[in-house]
Amino acid sequence: MNRVIIGLMMTLCVVVGAGLFGILDSRATDVFLEATRPDFQKIPIGVFGFQNGSGPEWLGGRLEEVLKADLQRSLVFSLVDLPAIGVKVREVSTTDKAVFKQAAENGVSVLVWGKSGQKNGSKDSELLMDGFVYDSGSDEVVGGKRYVGSTSVVRLMAHRFADELVFRYTGEPGIARTKIVYVAEHGNARELFVMDYDGYEPKQITADGFLNLMPRWSPDRRFIVFTAYRSRNTQDIDILELATGKRWTLVSMPGLNITPALSPDGNYLAFASSQDGNSEIYKLDTRTKTPQRLTVNQGGDLSPTWSPTGREMAFTSDRGGAPQVFVMSADGSNVRRLTYEGDYNAAPAWSPRGNWIAYVCRTAQRLYKLCIVSPDGQKRVQVTTGPGIDDSPSWSPDGRHLTFSSTVDGKSHIYMVDTDGKNLERITFGGTHNSSPSWSPAL
């Protein structure tokens, strides 16, 4: 009897095991439901502008300009040109039903307007922005926001308002208040800077006078991990706390210490080091400070990037001769090659939605452009085209854009582009060499 049961169980094991493995394998790729489906209809939105009161002359125009750019980049809304459909733009109030109706009849779903100026009775010349929202679906003024602060937060007021709108209409955090950390040439050195996602307000965060490379955010946006050169002769992986400027060395192994990446839960640091001869991928438990080597082969392994669940990593390896993108489980098992087209594919970045891995692909014309591939390798799309060396792709937290460096305009600068290759936008203009951008998580 027992033997029969064991036999039965073993048979079941083989049959069901094979079946379940099929299921598990397809699950292991972290494919999420795509919120940005190709048939997603953007929400038509009209911006009346900001009536400027007592504040500086530029205030209303600035708020309107920043808000419109944010709404455009959200890819959630499409901006309607109100004068073009015969809607007068100025002097709207919350009771202006006729204007709302006119816009709604012309297909506008959401209307936004506001007031700006000096805050009444404020002694330190504080500025104020009021923003209001009308929704044609419910035919009512949904509500408003009032922001108060110094001139240095004017852009932030508009960004915050844009994020409120994106959240209200999608339930997802917007990207208007996200940041990009990047490397900028500074004299003979390369230092780290953090700027707003639209390229404004760059702030220097390191000043060591030599090379600081490959910065990445911690999942809570409090820290930056990066490669720093010590005394020009060795590399460390350092971590910097943005609020305090405090800095620690996380890894200092002999040889290369490059391409650090914190896991989505912040508990592991994946990186590449060559202490064992050639570059291999390691994982450091940041709680126990215990390292674990994940790759074992004669080729160079580098650039680990975590899947959003933390269960898998994509990485670059030249174990077959030329660099290609591979995927493995976070414990180093289940290694499989992901890219087969072309003889140079590197610098992978797993999208925050899990459904794409962006990387640098060398085209048949030997150009270095951006490609995306699904984690099962079934779908592959080239995102950027034309001249220039593209490098270091990094995803926006909403999974709709990539930031990257490119030499398309001569010097290396930071750009952003939608995942379908549209809306290529240069976001750094100053400096002699900007590279290695990394997009922060959303707030």
Partner 1 sequence: MRIRVATMGLTMVVGMLLVIQGGCSKKSIQSGGDAQSSDRGMAKSGGPAPSAMGSAGSMGAAPNLDAPSATFPDLSLSSKPEDPETGGLRGFDSVSGGKAPSEERLGGGGTMLAKVEPSESTARQIEEIRREQAKEQAASAEAGLRDVFFGYDSWTITEDGRQSLTQDAQWIKANAGALVKIEGHCDERGTLAYNLVLGEKRAKAVRNYLVELGVGANRLSVVSYGKERPFCNERSESCYQQNRRGHVVVRSK
Say how far apart CA 235 and CA 213 lie, in whole Å: 10
Say how far apart CA 322 and CA 345 lie, in whole Å: 8
For 363-412, give the secondary structure using H, E and C.
Answer: CCCCCEEEEEECCCCCCEEECCCCCCCEEEEEECCCCCEEEEEECCCCCC
Question: Which of 311, 215, 308 minimizes the C-alpha distance to 264?
Answer: 308
Give the shortest CB-122-to-partner 1 separation in angstroms: 11
Task: Find the binding residues for partner 1 in span 84-123 (CB under 8 A).
Answer: 94
Please tell me whether residue 438 binds partner 1 under the rule CB under 8 A.
no
| Residue nearer to partner 1 on the CB measure, 81 or 148 | 148
Give the shortest CB-161-to-partner 1 separation in angstroms: 10
Q: How many residues bind partner 1 (CB under 8 A)?
A: 140
136, 419, 434, 436: residue in contact with partner 1 (rule CB under 8 A): 436
Contacts (Cβ under 8 Å, ≥6 apart) of 130: 114, 115, 116, 144, 145, 146
Please tell me whether residue 298 binds partner 1 under the rule CB under 8 A.
no
3-state secondary structure of 341: coil
Say how far apart CA 407 and CA 393 lie, in whole Å: 14
Give the shortest CB-86-to-partner 1 separation in angstroms: 26
Give the shortest CB-251-to-partner 1 separation in angstroms: 6
The helix (run of H) or strand (run of E) holding residue 6 is helix 2-27
Q: Are 355 and 376 in contact (CB under 8 A)?
A: no
Say how far apart CA 261 and CA 347 lie, in whole Å: 12
Task: Find the binding residues for partner 1 in span 375-434 (CB under 8 A).
Answer: 389, 391-392, 407
Q: Is the dihedral of CA 18, 22, 28, 33 positive or negative?
A: negative
Please tell me whether residue 215 binds partner 1 under the rule CB under 8 A.
no
Q: How many helices (H) and strands (E) would you count in the chain?
A: 4, 29
Task: Find the binding residues for partner 1 in span 327-346 (CB under 8 A).
Answer: 329-333, 344, 346
Largest CA distance in the chain: 91
Q: Is the dihedral of CA 240, 246, 250, 256 positive or negative?
A: positive
Q: What binding mask, one character per residue, do residues 36-65 give for partner 1 by CB under 8 A, x or -?
A: ------------------------------
Which of these ranges, 68-76, 82-90, 222-230, 374-382, lies near partner 1 under the rule CB under 8 A? 222-230
Please tell me whether residue 286 binds partner 1 under the rule CB under 8 A.
yes
7, 13, 32, 137: residue in contact with partner 1 (rule CB under 8 A): 13
Please tell me whether residue 209 binds partner 1 under the rule CB under 8 A.
yes
Please tell me whether residue 24 binds partner 1 under the rule CB under 8 A.
yes
Task: Find the binding residues for partner 1 in span 235-254 (CB under 8 A).
Answer: 235-236, 239, 241-246, 248-254
| Residue nearer to partner 1 on the CB measure, 81 or 297 | 297
Give the shortest CB-156-to-partner 1 separation in angstroms: 5
Q: What binding mask, one character per residue, do residues 136-175 give for partner 1 by CB under 8 A, x or -?
A: -----xxxxxxxxx--xx--xx-xx--xx--xx----x--
78, 118, 170, 275: residue in contact with partner 1 (rule CB under 8 A): 275
> Alpha carbon of 435 to those of 126, 190, 205, 431: distances in Å?
36, 9, 15, 11
Please tell me whether residue 205 binds partner 1 under the rule CB under 8 A.
yes
